[in-house]
Amino acid sequence: MPADATPDPYTDPLAFGQRLQLLRTRRGMTREQLGGLMGRTGSWVKAVETGRLKTPKLHLVLQFAELLRVRDLSELTGDQSVHVDLFVGPGHSRLPAVQAAINRFPLSDSAQAPSARHIRARLARAWQARHEAPNHRDVIGALLPDLIRDAQRAVRQSDRATDRRAAQAALSEVYSLAQFFVAYQPDAALLWRVAERGMIAAQESEDPHTIGVAAWLAAQAHRDSGHFDAADDVTAEALAYLTPLLPDTSDEVRAIAGALTFEAGYTAARRAETGTAWRYWDQARDMAARLPADYFHPVTSFGRAIMGAHAVTVAVELHSGGESVRQAAAADAMPIPSRPRRARHRIEEARAYQLDGQPDVALDTLARAHESAPETIKYNGYAKRIVLEESESRHPGRRQRASALAVKLGLLAA
């Protein structure tokens, strides 16, 4: 390695503090920002990074891992003997078939393609199944290979420009569905292929709603990888494109614009920009209020019912313990007409209670999330962090409950 090269914390035998500093700078966070989110100071973070303070205890290491979106705990600790995947779930049994369908580009396939209308009807059923099934990854993983192949055929076999644009819109939505399956699977490159192909197909479709959905998913992929500036750029570009259309457009376009507005606030919260985060949340709430009372966007879950859950997420990402619990008490998860989205909200509530020093309530809430949609919590790094932390609790009852949940999540052997 050249003398002036930046060391790689994933391969070089660095001390904990050095790894922390490199991962923090790669995420674009200052010491003051990271310290504030931990309830500490920037000088405390500096003391850890420079080795003046010894390696923190497990609960603080897990907090660092959560804030820096460390996918494998060994990336932060340097201990290669124990790998604990936080923001990567176990490879799903249907992943190989989905991978093969995404990676395959048959050019001599003579099978007749179904119409874009037929593909959209299948997509509508797939989204409904995803929202209703506790094992939603298994359900959509079974549907995706045929959907991907048929949508690709429809694009290739379209003769007229209007038919081709409709087929591209359907293909982009298939990739959107695939991104929900591929997210947090152990194949980051596949996620980016899906996100990029979805965006390209959306642009070719020239359909505002399709473009908005692809941008929403691309922004999430950037943010979850720690690329906050890229997430902001995608969101801003999409909103600049959609905003002039809003006075005279469909509810689905208004909903995707609202979802993108909240995403801008979500990213701001991840940056610890409190005022900006809540300002975007306020704007998104106003946009949701203009939709029908029972409206629920099938991809983003945007609508009036989701705004309470979004408020919890903003408060939690800002690490405001008391505000998080207040928002959790005000939010009602039951009107959310989606099992995986309700489970995700329960996980956010659990984060709120953990921040507020109520670990028993947090564990109870995670148990409810597991009942709603086991596959959601199994792939959620925040839930794993809480369970791992409490499995080390000094309170026997709490430790036992956390360990039992850890077994269900595959974090501990039975």
Q: Which residues, at least 6 apart from 31, have a Cβ–Cβ distance to it below 8 Å?
A: 24, 42, 43, 45, 46, 49
pLDDT tens sequence across 178-204: 999 998 888 888 999 999 999 999 999
Report angle CA 138, 143, 147 to the nearest 5 degrees.
150
pLDDT tens sequence across 299-358: 999 999 999 999 999 999 998 889 999 999 998 765 898 999 999 999 999 999 999 999
Residue 85 three-state SS: strand
The pLDDT-based confidence of 71 (bands split at 50, 70, 90) is: low
Is 214 domain-assigned? no
Gap between the Cα atoms of 87 and 71, Å rounded: 5
pTM attached to this predicted model? 0.80
φ, ψ at 277 (rounded to 5°): -60, -50
Per-residue b or e along 297-324, where b marks 16 or more CB atoms closer than 10 Å to that residue's CB: bbbbbbbbbbbbbbbbbbbbbbbbbebb
Gap between the Cα atoms of 281 and 287, Å rounded: 10
Report angle CA 113, 119, 123 to the nearest 5 degrees.
150
Q: Which residue has the higher pLDDT, 233 or 107?
A: 233
**Which domain, by its residues, includes 164?**
90-206
Q: What is the pLDDT of residue 10?
A: 44
The DSSP letter of residue 304 is G
Do both 345 and 396 map to the same domain?
Answer: yes
Distance of CA 105 to the CA centre of its chain: 28
Query: The domain spanning residue 58 has which CATH number?
Result: 1.10.260.40
Q: Is the pLDDT of residue 2 over 50?
A: no
Is 335 domain-assigned? yes
Do both 66 and 115 map to the same domain?
Answer: no
Distance of CA 320 to the CA centre of its chain: 20
Q: Which residues, at least 6 apart from 373, have a Cβ–Cβ distance to it below 8 Å?
A: 134, 135, 136, 339, 340, 342, 343
Is 143 domain-assigned? yes
Q: Which residue has the higher pLDDT, 89 or 214?
A: 214
Q: Is the pLDDT of residue 87 over 60?
A: no
pLDDT tens sequence across 192-243: 999 999 999 999 999 999 999 999 999 999 998 878 999 999 999 999 999 9
| HEC readout, 134-176 | CCHHHHHHHHHHHHHHHHHHHHHCCCCHHHHHHHHHHHHHHHH
For the residues 130-144, what does the mean pLDDT come to?
A: 93
Q: What is the pLDDT of residue 86?
A: 58
Q: What is the pLDDT of residue 1?
A: 39
Is 387 domain-assigned? yes
The pLDDT-based confidence of 65 (bands split at 50, 70, 90) is: confident
Q: What is the pLDDT of residue 64?
A: 83
Q: Which residue has the higher pLDDT, 2 or 355?
A: 355
Q: Is the pLDDT of residue 7 over 50?
A: no
Is 295 domain-assigned? no
Do both 352 and 403 map to the same domain?
Answer: yes
Do both 44 and 132 map to the same domain?
Answer: no
Candidate from 58-72, 120-134, 188-202, 377-391 with smallest mean pLDDT: 58-72
The pLDDT-based confidence of 365 (bands split at 50, 70, 90) is: very high
The pLDDT-based confidence of 79 (bands split at 50, 70, 90) is: low
Q: Domain ends where: 176, 206, 236?
A: 206
Sequence letter at residue 203: Q
The DSSP letter of residue 306 is G
How many CA atoms lie less than 13 Å away from 411 in the CB half-sphere? 28
Do both 45 and 149 map to the same domain?
Answer: no
Sign of the alpha-carbon dihedral angle for 406, 408, 410, 414: positive
Nearest to 252 by CA among 218, 217, 208, 294: 208
Neighbours of 395 (CB within 10 A): 12
Q: Which residue has the higher pLDDT, 19 or 145?
A: 145
Tokens standing for residue 119? 């593909």
Gap between the Cα atoms of 361 and 283, Å rounded: 31
Q: Is the pLDDT of residue 120 over 90?
A: yes
How many CA atoms lie less than 13 Å away from 183 in the CB half-sphere? 24
Do both 95 and 161 map to the same domain?
Answer: yes
Gap between the Cα atoms of 409 and 344, Å rounded: 15
Query: The domain spanning residue 344 has which CATH number?
Result: 1.25.40
Do both 332 and 400 map to the same domain?
Answer: yes
Tokens standing for residue 21? 């500093």
Is 263 domain-assigned? no
In order, the DSSP letters of 226-268 are T-HHHHHHHHHHHHHHHGGGGGGS-HHHHHHHHHHHHHHHHHH
Do both 126 and 63 map to the same domain?
Answer: no
For the residues 145-160, what does the mean pLDDT come to?
A: 93
Query: Total domain count for the chain?
Result: 3
Q: Is the pLDDT of residue 402 over 70?
A: yes
Q: Is the pLDDT of residue 105 over 70?
A: yes
The pLDDT-based confidence of 9 (bands split at 50, 70, 90) is: very low
Q: What is the pLDDT of residue 3?
A: 44
Is 229 domain-assigned? no
Q: What is the pLDDT of residue 170?
A: 96
